[in-house]
Amino acid sequence: MTTLTLIFFLFLGSITANPIALPHRYHKSHGQECPENGTLDHTNHFSVQNMVPVSASQPTVALGSSITALITPNDYCTIFNLVVPPSGLNKTCNLELLIPDREQAGFNYMFAGPGHFTFTGYAFGPPSLLTTGNAYVINVGPCGIQPGMEGMEVIGLLCSNDTTFVYQQSERKCPIGFFVTIT
Ligand SMILES: *[C@@H]1O[C@H](CO)[C@@H](O)[C@H](O)[C@H]1NC(C)=O
Ligand SMILES: *[C@@H]1O[C@H](CO)[C@@H](O)[C@H](O)[C@H]1NC(C)=O
Ligand SMILES: *[C@@H]1O[C@H](CO)[C@@H](O)[C@H](O)[C@H]1NC(C)=O
């Protein structure tokens, strides 16, 4: 946690130091609106519980867990887990990745690179190219929870070969991160 927080703030530090490195996508949002399909119905969604960044180059370094995702080209991937609640019984779970641009999100985060990502573990045919200012459906399927279960944990892994993506899961203004909507 401490190491991760440090890394996160190092990234923030470099954003401040090198503003020219930020992709300029502000023109896409025309102000305050969230991406299409990029908002949550507050009665029937749940959020990622936990995210654990893992490094290919330093596999023995434990980074702890947090609500911060850290993905770097061919190195850090982030394991995310979600716990499907009992209300998912006989329902469909829609896993979404919401990536408002910075103006829509209302705070800064890092997204730099062409945007090729891979999902492992919980995906039926996700887009391989992600850009800011959009909302993506990663998986649609039965929630899978059985009668009597208190919750069912689902785990996924997000990696990239060419893009740095560092953000804190948030539901402020336009939500950012992984969410599941139950329908
Ligand atoms: C938004 O959601 C609707 C209903 O699921 C879908 O038809 C539409 O294509 C989505 N829009 C985008 C930009 O993904
Ligand atoms: C869920 O589906 C099963 C099998 O179709 C059915 O027997 C059960 O009554 C359903 N439960 C609820 C709460 O809808
Ligand atoms: C990353 O992967 C995508 C899709 O497989 C590929 O098109 C792209 O060239 C790769 N980029 C790098 C830098 O390897």
pLDDT tens-digit profile of 93-133?
999 999 999 999 988 999 999 999 999 886 666 778 999 99
Picking from 155, 147, 157, 122, the residue whose alpha carbon sits closest to that of residue 49 is: 155
24 pLDDT above the threshold of 50: no
Shortest-distance Cα residue to atom 7 of ligand 2: 90
Maximum average pLDDT range among 15-19, 125-129, 166-170: 166-170
Distance CA 102, CA 34 (A): 11
Distance CA 145, CA 75 (A): 33
Which residues does 165 contact at the CB level (< 8 Å), separation at least 6?
69, 71, 110, 111, 113, 117
Domain ranges of the chain: 2-24+34-182
**pLDDT value at residue 58:** 83
Q: Which atom of ligand 1 approaches the CA of 134 most closely?
A: 13
Ligand 1 environment, Cβ below 6 A: 36-37
What six digits make up the tokens of 16?
């401040």
- Classify residue 127 by burial, with Cβ atoms within 10 Å: 0-12, 13-18, 19+: middle
Q: Which atom of ligand 3 approaches the CA of 128 most closely?
A: 4
Residue 172 neighbours by CB distance under 10 Å: 10
- Say if pTM beats, i.e. exceeds, 0.75: yes
**pLDDT value at residue 173:** 85
Q: Which of 117, 128, 130, 161 to mutate to test the pocket of ligand 3 (most atoms within 8 A of CB)?
A: 161
Amino acid at 98: L
Distance CA 48, CA 81 (A): 6
Residue 75 neighbours by CB distance under 10 Å: 16
Least confident of 58-72, 93-107, 159-173: 58-72
Which residues does 125 contact at the CB level (< 8 Å), separation at least 6?
none
Q: What's the gap in Å between 73 CA and the centre of ligand 3?
A: 10
Please, what is the end-to-end C-alpha distance for the chain in angstroms? 34
Which residues does 3 contact at the CB level (< 8 Å), separation at least 6?
61, 63, 64
Q: Is 89 in the pocket of ligand 2 (CB under 6 A)?
A: yes
What secondary structure letter does DSSP report for 143?
-
Q: What's the gap in Å between 128 CA and the centre of ligand 3?
A: 10
Distance CA 112, CA 152 (A): 34
Q: Is 118 in the pocket of ligand 3 (CB under 6 A)?
A: no
Q: Rounded mean pLDDT of the chain? A: 81
Instruction: Please state the φ and ψ torsions of residue 95, each to the nearest 5 degrees.
Output: -85, 125
